[in-house]
Amino acid sequence: MQYYSTNQQAPKADLKEAVVRGLAPDKGLHMPEQLPVFSSAFFEQLHNLSLQEIGAEVAKCFFGDSVDNKALKQIAEETLNFEIPLVKLSEQIFSLELFHGPTCAFKDVGGRFMARMLAYFTQNEQQDIYVLTATSGDTGSAVASGFFNVPGIKVIILYPKGKVSHIQEQQLTTHGHNITALEVDGTFDDCQKLVKEAFNTEGLRKKLKLTSANSINLARFLPQAIYYYHAVAQLGKTDKKIVFSVPSGNFGNLTAGIFAWNSGLPVHKFIAATNVNDIVPQYLETGIFSPKHSIKTLANAMDVGNPSNFVRMLEIFEHQHDKMAEMVKGFSLDDEGIQKYMQLIYEKHQYIADPHGAIGYAALDQQLQENEVGIFLETAHPAKFIDITEKVLQREVPIPERLGAYLKKKKEAVPLKADFNAFQDYLYSIS
Ligand SMILES: *Cc1c(COP(=O)(O)O)cnc(C)c1O
């Protein structure tokens, strides 16, 4: 399989090139030349397959012509060594719990897969590889945990100062070894911009081998398709139409779901569930894509004003607004609504949702039709946002042990101005 750039100004790349460099040389995002399609035999079998079996099949279909089969199976199995259960809240609404991995957010799936695939592709490299990662809270820790102590790889995380939760900050800043956290005096969009600019600076790229672990990287966003198949497998046979509600920020998660649907998975529609950073819901309504500065909300991992994977969605739907709007519905919820729904979900189902998952639930609550069944992606463990969860629900939220361990460690972060020259100086200083 070859991968083209969404900007159409760069030569096609093979998988290794696309994964190692992250962004295409013309600043576009890589897309597979053909969208993978599964055999009907796979879907007939789906209900009988385990998460790891589905993972291995999906990885083979997406990446099988570029990675040795045995290695790929191992990458998928190691990535998916935790459960992703589908939990029933009511006859019509299910929660796909994506927080059972090491850092308690769905980004563990992509982060772990990408770390392993990058290590596979670079095992014979002499030079260290620098993985630059801008994070709104959860990506950084998933990537850090995935790459921790991997020889030859150094991870640099940029996170917005004061805009991630305390637990998230501890998860970003306490690894040490090959992981460095930069505390950027700015927003997530500033962090993302610094990373993009670093890639576009030739002098820097000559000196340092850079890659990105944001969802612009194929090896990170595509494997997320796996759990959409796994959700349908767990749902079992149903005559209802399946709706996925996806709490979204940069739209990597939702785009992976669209790949799964396009490959033949029976999905009736997707809901792009956002907080007040509603750029994509606005587009779906008006046909106009108009990025803005991000606004800080209680669902901070989705505070994104210029969602990077939107261009991939455009590609899949061939730049036709009506095609996308038919398959993807918009939904947005403000902070007051988030709190209201967290309470409602708890009262109605005795279920503690995190602020992001609560938006996903709210979208189903308001949009599901009678002949539909809804699955919202519960993208993080509520304890990652313990301050707000406890305040809103007026009860204690238990912290999983793997999360609590981070709280006991000492924060180490390098302060950085949201200024490219400062970032560049820093990168030169460590090389
Ligand atoms: C990153 C994140 C999201 C948004 O995912 P995208 O793929 O960027 O749309 C939603 N919820 C949580 C908890 C996250 O960490």
Domain-located, residue 320: yes
The residues with which 153 forms a beta bridge, in sequence order, are 129
Domain-located, residue 169: yes
With a 6 Å cutoff on the Cβ, whether 277 touches ligand 1 is: no
User: 337: which residues sit within 8 A by CB, 6+ positions away?
Assistant: 362
Domain-located, residue 143: yes
pLDDT of res. 102: 92
Domain-located, residue 6: no
With a 6 Å cutoff on the Cβ, whether 165 touches ligand 1 is: no
Angstrom distance (rounded) from CA 352 to CA 390: 10
> 280 in helix, strand or coil?
helix
Asked about 323 being catalytic, the answer comes back as no
Atom of ligand 1 nearest to the CA of 250: 8
The conformation of residue 222, written as its DSSP 8-state character, comes to G
Atom of ligand 1 nearest to the CA of 304: 8
Question: 135 CA distance to ligand 1 centroid (A)?
Answer: 10
| DSSP output for 132-190 | EEE-SSSHHHHHHHHHTT-TTEEEEEEEETT-S-HHHHHHHHS--TTEEEEEEES-HHH
With a 6 Å cutoff on the Cβ, whether 303 touches ligand 1 is: no
pLDDT of res. 8: 95
Domain-located, residue 31: no
CATH of the domain at 245: 3.40.50.1100
Catalytic residue (choose from 16, 70, 73, 107): 107
Q: In which region does residue 110 sit, left (phi positive, over 0), alpha (psi from -120 to 50) or beta (all else)?
A: alpha
Domain count, the chain: 1
pLDDT of res. 214: 76
Nearest CA owner, ligand 1 atom 1: 301
Question: 248 CA distance to ligand 1 centroid (A)?
Answer: 5
pLDDT of res. 326: 98
Tokens of 288: 């106009």
With a 6 Å cutoff on the Cβ, whether 279 touches ligand 1 is: no
| Short-list 98, 380, 377, 360, CA closest to 257 | 377
The conformation of residue 317, written as its DSSP 8-state character, comes to T
pLDDT of res. 136: 81
pLDDT of res. 33: 95
The best mutation among 106, 227, 342, 384 to test binding of ligand 1, ranked by most ligand atoms within 8 Å of the C-beta, falls on 106
pLDDT of res. 151: 82
Angstrom distance (rounded) from CA 330 to CA 363: 9
- Whether the CB-CB separation of 374 and 368 falls below 8 Å is answered with yes
Domain-located, residue 8: no
pLDDT of res. 22: 85
With a 6 Å cutoff on the Cβ, whether 105 touches ligand 1 is: yes
Structural domain containing residue 281: 15-22+37-431
Domain-located, residue 236: yes
- Residue numbers in the chain where pLDDT is lower than 50: none
Domain-located, residue 76: yes
Question: 63 CA distance to ligand 1 centroid (A)?
Answer: 24
pLDDT of res. 213: 81
The residue ranges of DSSP E strands in 231-323, in sequence order, are 241-247, 269-274
With a 6 Å cutoff on the Cβ, whether 171 touches ligand 1 is: no
The conformation of residue 238, written as its DSSP 8-state character, comes to -
Phi, psi of 142 (to 5 degrees): -65, -40
pTM of the predicted structure, to 2 decimals: 0.93
Angstrom distance (rounded) from CA 343 to CA 355: 11
Question: 302 CA distance to ligand 1 centroid (A)?
Answer: 6
Question: 254 CA distance to ligand 1 centroid (A)?
Answer: 9
With a 6 Å cutoff on the Cβ, whether 379 touches ligand 1 is: yes
Atom of ligand 1 nearest to the CA of 253: 7
Angstrom distance (rounded) from CA 228 to CA 368: 18
With a 6 Å cutoff on the Cβ, whether 300 touches ligand 1 is: no
Q: What are the CA-CA distances from residue 128 to residues 16, 178, 209 (Å)? A: 16, 11, 7
pLDDT of res. 39: 94
- In tens, the pLDDT along 385-407 reads 999 999 999 999 999 999 999 99
User: 279: which residues sit within 8 A by CB, 6+ positions away?
Assistant: 289, 290, 291, 292, 304, 305, 306, 307, 310
